[in-house]
Amino acid sequence: MTPDDELQGPPGELREDRRIGGTDLTHWYTALGRQTARVAEAVNRRLGPNATLIVILVIGLIIAIGLSIAAVAVYDAVTDSDGVAGLDQPLLDFAITLRSPWLDTIVTGYTDIAGPIGMPVIAVGTLLVLGIHRRSWTPVILIVAAGSGSLLMTVAGKDFIGRVRPPLSDAVPPYEFSPSFPSGHTLNAVVVAGVIAYLLILRQDRVRNRVLIISAAALFALTIGLSRVFLGHHWFTDVLAGWILGAAWLALVITAHRLYLTVRADHERRRAADAPAA
Protein backbone atom coordinates (compact mmCIF):
# COMPACT_ATOMS: atom_id res chain seq x y z
CA MET A 1 0.00 0.00 0.00
CA THR A 2 1.37 3.41 -0.96
CA PRO A 3 1.30 6.44 1.37
CA ASP A 4 -1.43 8.01 -0.79
CA ASP A 5 -3.56 4.88 -0.44
CA GLU A 6 -3.18 5.02 3.33
CA LEU A 7 -4.45 8.62 3.34
CA GLN A 8 -7.50 8.11 1.17
CA GLY A 9 -10.12 7.87 3.90
CA PRO A 10 -13.73 7.31 2.77
CA PRO A 11 -13.83 6.50 -0.94
CA GLY A 12 -10.70 8.40 -1.84
CA GLU A 13 -12.02 11.76 -0.60
CA LEU A 14 -8.74 12.91 0.91
CA ARG A 15 -6.73 11.86 -2.13
CA GLU A 16 -9.26 13.42 -4.52
CA ASP A 17 -9.69 16.73 -2.70
CA ARG A 18 -6.30 17.55 -1.27
CA ARG A 19 -4.83 19.01 -4.47
CA ILE A 20 -5.88 21.64 -6.98
CA GLY A 21 -3.58 21.03 -9.89
CA GLY A 22 -0.10 20.80 -8.39
CA THR A 23 -1.00 22.65 -5.19
CA ASP A 24 -1.32 20.52 -2.06
CA LEU A 25 -4.05 22.10 0.08
CA THR A 26 -2.70 20.44 3.22
CA HIS A 27 0.60 22.30 2.90
CA TRP A 28 0.72 25.68 4.64
CA TYR A 29 3.21 28.24 3.39
CA THR A 30 3.00 30.87 6.14
CA ALA A 31 3.84 30.74 9.84
CA LEU A 32 0.24 31.70 10.71
CA GLY A 33 -1.11 28.94 8.50
CA ARG A 34 1.19 26.33 10.03
CA GLN A 35 0.29 27.42 13.56
CA THR A 36 -3.43 27.32 12.75
CA ALA A 37 -2.99 23.82 11.30
CA ARG A 38 -1.25 22.68 14.50
CA VAL A 39 -4.14 23.98 16.61
CA ALA A 40 -6.63 22.22 14.32
CA GLU A 41 -4.68 18.97 14.60
CA ALA A 42 -4.78 19.25 18.41
CA VAL A 43 -8.57 19.69 18.29
CA ASN A 44 -8.80 16.77 15.86
CA ARG A 45 -7.06 14.45 18.32
CA ARG A 46 -9.85 15.13 20.80
CA LEU A 47 -12.90 15.42 18.55
CA GLY A 48 -12.10 13.78 15.21
CA PRO A 49 -11.97 15.32 11.70
CA ASN A 50 -15.67 15.92 11.06
CA ALA A 51 -16.32 17.60 14.41
CA THR A 52 -13.17 19.66 13.94
CA LEU A 53 -14.50 20.96 10.61
CA ILE A 54 -17.73 22.06 12.28
CA VAL A 55 -15.83 23.78 15.12
CA ILE A 56 -13.65 25.62 12.61
CA LEU A 57 -16.69 26.74 10.60
CA VAL A 58 -18.45 28.01 13.74
CA ILE A 59 -15.37 30.01 14.73
CA GLY A 60 -15.12 31.32 11.18
CA LEU A 61 -18.79 32.33 11.24
CA ILE A 62 -18.26 34.31 14.44
CA ILE A 63 -15.38 36.10 12.73
CA ALA A 64 -17.50 36.73 9.64
CA ILE A 65 -20.37 38.21 11.64
CA GLY A 66 -17.81 40.39 13.38
CA LEU A 67 -16.69 41.58 9.95
CA SER A 68 -20.28 42.49 9.11
CA ILE A 69 -20.61 44.52 12.28
CA ALA A 70 -17.25 46.15 11.61
CA ALA A 71 -18.68 47.20 8.25
CA VAL A 72 -20.70 49.76 10.22
CA ALA A 73 -17.52 51.72 10.85
CA VAL A 74 -16.48 51.40 7.20
CA TYR A 75 -19.92 52.52 6.09
CA ASP A 76 -19.80 55.57 8.36
CA ALA A 77 -16.34 56.42 7.07
CA VAL A 78 -17.26 56.32 3.39
CA THR A 79 -20.59 58.08 3.76
CA ASP A 80 -19.06 60.89 5.81
CA SER A 81 -16.47 61.62 3.13
CA ASP A 82 -16.20 62.21 -0.61
CA GLY A 83 -14.71 58.74 -1.12
CA VAL A 84 -16.35 55.63 -2.55
CA ALA A 85 -19.82 56.72 -1.45
CA GLY A 86 -19.50 59.67 -3.80
CA LEU A 87 -20.07 57.19 -6.63
CA ASP A 88 -23.49 56.09 -5.39
CA GLN A 89 -25.71 58.73 -6.93
CA PRO A 90 -23.73 59.18 -10.18
CA LEU A 91 -23.73 55.41 -10.83
CA LEU A 92 -27.44 55.17 -10.11
CA ASP A 93 -28.11 58.11 -12.44
CA PHE A 94 -26.05 56.39 -15.15
CA ALA A 95 -27.92 53.10 -14.66
CA ILE A 96 -31.24 54.88 -15.14
CA THR A 97 -30.12 56.10 -18.57
CA LEU A 98 -29.52 52.48 -19.67
CA ARG A 99 -32.98 51.19 -18.84
CA SER A 100 -35.64 50.07 -21.27
CA PRO A 101 -38.73 47.88 -20.76
CA TRP A 102 -37.18 44.76 -22.31
CA LEU A 103 -33.82 45.18 -20.54
CA ASP A 104 -35.52 45.85 -17.20
CA THR A 105 -37.42 42.57 -17.56
CA ILE A 106 -34.29 40.58 -18.42
CA VAL A 107 -32.23 42.04 -15.56
CA THR A 108 -35.08 41.53 -13.08
CA GLY A 109 -35.30 37.85 -14.03
CA TYR A 110 -31.53 37.49 -13.83
CA THR A 111 -31.19 39.13 -10.41
CA ASP A 112 -33.90 36.80 -9.05
CA ILE A 113 -31.49 33.88 -9.55
CA ALA A 114 -29.60 35.19 -6.52
CA GLY A 115 -32.79 35.92 -4.58
CA PRO A 116 -34.40 34.17 -1.59
CA ILE A 117 -35.78 31.41 -3.83
CA GLY A 118 -33.16 31.06 -6.54
CA MET A 119 -30.07 30.74 -4.36
CA PRO A 120 -31.49 28.10 -1.98
CA VAL A 121 -32.66 26.02 -4.96
CA ILE A 122 -29.20 26.17 -6.54
CA ALA A 123 -27.47 25.45 -3.23
CA VAL A 124 -29.68 22.51 -2.24
CA GLY A 125 -29.59 21.02 -5.73
CA THR A 126 -25.81 21.21 -5.87
CA LEU A 127 -25.21 19.80 -2.40
CA LEU A 128 -27.52 16.86 -3.13
CA VAL A 129 -25.85 16.07 -6.46
CA LEU A 130 -22.29 16.41 -5.15
CA GLY A 131 -23.04 14.73 -1.82
CA ILE A 132 -24.64 11.70 -3.45
CA HIS A 133 -22.19 11.47 -6.35
CA ARG A 134 -19.12 11.75 -4.10
CA ARG A 135 -20.70 9.81 -1.21
CA SER A 136 -19.47 12.49 1.14
CA TRP A 137 -20.91 14.92 3.67
CA THR A 138 -18.28 17.51 2.81
CA PRO A 139 -20.25 19.27 0.02
CA VAL A 140 -23.32 19.34 2.26
CA ILE A 141 -21.46 20.82 5.23
CA LEU A 142 -19.57 23.39 3.18
CA ILE A 143 -22.55 24.63 1.15
CA VAL A 144 -24.88 24.76 4.16
CA ALA A 145 -22.24 26.55 6.24
CA ALA A 146 -21.41 28.98 3.44
CA GLY A 147 -25.05 29.81 2.72
CA SER A 148 -26.06 30.08 6.38
CA GLY A 149 -23.09 32.30 7.12
CA SER A 150 -23.83 34.66 4.25
CA LEU A 151 -27.45 34.92 5.40
CA LEU A 152 -26.44 35.74 8.98
CA MET A 153 -23.90 38.30 7.77
CA THR A 154 -26.55 39.97 5.63
CA VAL A 155 -29.05 40.12 8.50
CA ALA A 156 -26.42 41.43 10.93
CA GLY A 157 -25.27 44.14 8.54
CA LYS A 158 -28.80 45.29 7.68
CA ASP A 159 -29.94 45.34 11.32
CA PHE A 160 -26.91 47.27 12.59
CA ILE A 161 -26.81 49.84 9.78
CA GLY A 162 -30.42 50.17 8.63
CA ARG A 163 -29.51 52.11 5.50
CA VAL A 164 -32.40 53.25 3.32
CA ARG A 165 -32.53 51.99 -0.26
CA PRO A 166 -32.54 54.34 -3.26
CA PRO A 167 -35.86 56.19 -3.76
CA LEU A 168 -38.66 54.10 -5.24
CA SER A 169 -38.94 56.67 -8.01
CA ASP A 170 -35.46 55.57 -9.15
CA ALA A 171 -36.12 51.82 -8.83
CA VAL A 172 -37.57 49.18 -11.14
CA PRO A 173 -40.51 47.20 -9.67
CA PRO A 174 -41.05 44.89 -7.89
CA TYR A 175 -39.81 47.10 -5.06
CA GLU A 176 -37.87 45.96 -2.01
CA PHE A 177 -38.21 47.54 1.43
CA SER A 178 -35.65 45.86 3.71
CA PRO A 179 -32.53 47.81 4.77
CA SER A 180 -30.06 48.35 1.96
CA PHE A 181 -26.56 47.69 3.35
CA PRO A 182 -25.04 45.24 2.47
CA SER A 183 -26.57 43.79 -0.69
CA GLY A 184 -27.76 40.31 0.27
CA HIS A 185 -28.14 39.19 -3.34
CA THR A 186 -24.53 40.14 -4.02
CA LEU A 187 -23.12 38.61 -0.84
CA ASN A 188 -24.99 35.35 -1.38
CA ALA A 189 -23.96 35.20 -5.04
CA VAL A 190 -20.28 35.54 -4.11
CA VAL A 191 -20.45 32.91 -1.37
CA VAL A 192 -22.71 30.27 -2.90
CA ALA A 193 -21.26 30.47 -6.41
CA GLY A 194 -17.77 30.63 -4.92
CA VAL A 195 -18.09 27.56 -2.71
CA ILE A 196 -19.71 25.56 -5.53
CA ALA A 197 -16.88 26.56 -7.86
CA TYR A 198 -14.35 25.53 -5.21
CA LEU A 199 -15.95 22.12 -4.77
CA LEU A 200 -16.01 21.59 -8.54
CA ILE A 201 -12.38 22.52 -9.19
CA LEU A 202 -11.24 20.09 -6.50
CA ARG A 203 -12.04 17.27 -8.92
CA GLN A 204 -10.87 18.98 -12.13
CA ASP A 205 -7.47 17.99 -13.52
CA ARG A 206 -7.58 20.27 -16.56
CA VAL A 207 -6.47 23.86 -16.06
CA ARG A 208 -8.89 25.04 -18.74
CA ASN A 209 -11.86 23.59 -16.87
CA ARG A 210 -10.77 25.15 -13.59
CA VAL A 211 -10.36 28.55 -15.24
CA LEU A 212 -13.81 28.30 -16.83
CA ILE A 213 -15.46 27.34 -13.55
CA ILE A 214 -13.78 30.13 -11.58
CA SER A 215 -14.48 32.67 -14.31
CA ALA A 216 -18.16 31.71 -14.45
CA ALA A 217 -18.55 32.06 -10.68
CA ALA A 218 -16.75 35.41 -10.64
CA LEU A 219 -18.79 36.72 -13.58
CA PHE A 220 -22.02 35.65 -11.89
CA ALA A 221 -21.13 37.41 -8.63
CA LEU A 222 -20.00 40.54 -10.50
CA THR A 223 -23.08 40.82 -12.70
CA ILE A 224 -25.53 40.10 -9.88
CA GLY A 225 -24.02 43.01 -7.99
CA LEU A 226 -24.25 45.30 -11.00
CA SER A 227 -27.85 44.23 -11.58
CA ARG A 228 -28.77 45.50 -8.12
CA VAL A 229 -27.49 48.97 -8.98
CA PHE A 230 -29.09 48.87 -12.45
CA LEU A 231 -32.51 48.13 -10.94
CA GLY A 232 -32.13 50.85 -8.30
CA HIS A 233 -32.55 48.32 -5.49
CA HIS A 234 -29.15 49.12 -3.95
CA TRP A 235 -26.53 51.80 -3.82
CA PHE A 236 -23.13 50.91 -5.24
CA THR A 237 -21.55 50.86 -1.76
CA ASP A 238 -24.12 48.22 -0.70
CA VAL A 239 -22.93 46.04 -3.57
CA LEU A 240 -19.26 46.75 -2.87
CA ALA A 241 -19.76 45.64 0.73
CA GLY A 242 -21.48 42.47 -0.51
CA TRP A 243 -18.51 41.64 -2.74
CA ILE A 244 -15.95 42.27 0.02
CA LEU A 245 -17.80 40.53 2.87
CA GLY A 246 -18.74 37.62 0.62
CA ALA A 247 -15.14 37.13 -0.48
CA ALA A 248 -13.98 37.26 3.15
CA TRP A 249 -16.49 34.62 4.28
CA LEU A 250 -15.75 32.44 1.24
CA ALA A 251 -12.03 32.58 2.09
CA LEU A 252 -12.82 31.48 5.66
CA VAL A 253 -14.95 28.55 4.42
CA ILE A 254 -12.21 27.41 2.04
CA THR A 255 -9.62 27.75 4.81
CA ALA A 256 -11.82 25.63 7.07
CA HIS A 257 -11.95 22.90 4.42
CA ARG A 258 -8.18 23.04 3.97
CA LEU A 259 -7.77 22.60 7.72
CA TYR A 260 -10.19 19.67 7.57
CA LEU A 261 -8.07 18.03 4.87
CA THR A 262 -4.96 18.70 6.95
CA VAL A 263 -6.36 17.06 10.08
CA ARG A 264 -7.74 14.18 8.02
CA ALA A 265 -4.24 13.56 6.67
CA ASP A 266 -2.81 13.74 10.20
CA HIS A 267 -5.56 11.43 11.49
CA GLU A 268 -4.93 8.83 8.78
CA ARG A 269 -1.16 8.97 9.24
CA ARG A 270 -1.49 8.28 12.95
CA ARG A 271 -4.00 5.49 12.34
CA ALA A 272 -1.69 3.88 9.80
CA ALA A 273 1.27 4.21 12.18
CA ASP A 274 -0.69 2.59 15.03
CA ALA A 275 -1.96 -0.31 12.90
CA PRO A 276 -0.11 -3.60 13.50
CA ALA A 277 2.07 -4.75 10.63
CA ALA A 278 0.43 -7.40 8.45
- Transcribe 165-185 into DSSP letters: PSPGGGSPSSP--S--SS-HH
CB-based contact 161:218 (threshold 8 Å): no
Nearest to 25 by CA among 207, 206, 205, 258: 258
Task: Tell me what pLDDT residue 76 has.
Answer: 64
Tell me the pTM.
0.86
SS3 assignment for 11-27: HHHHHHHCEECCEECCC
Mean pLDDT across the chain = 84
57 burial class (0-12, 13-18, 19+ CB within 10 angstroms)? buried
Residue range 28-46, pLDDT digits in tens: 888 888 888 888 888 888 8
Q: Rounded to whole angstroms, what are the CA distances from 226 to 41, 55, 74?
A: 42, 35, 21
DSSP string for 147-171? HHHHHHHHHHHHHHH-PPPSPGGGS
CA contacts within 13 A on the Cβ side of 126: 23
Choose between 84 and 178: higher pLDDT: 178
Choose between 3 and 119: higher pLDDT: 119
Q: Where is average pLDDT lowest: 19-33, 106-120, 211-225?
A: 19-33
Which whole number is the average pLDDT over 69-77?
Answer: 65
User: Is the confidence at residue 47, as pLDDT, over 90?
Assistant: no
Task: Tell me what pLDDT residue 146 has.
Answer: 92
Task: Tell me what pLDDT residue 136 has.
Answer: 84
Choose between 263 and 81: higher pLDDT: 263
CATH-assigned architecture of domain 3-269: Up-down Bundle (1.20)
User: Where are the domains positioned within the chain?
Assistant: 3-269
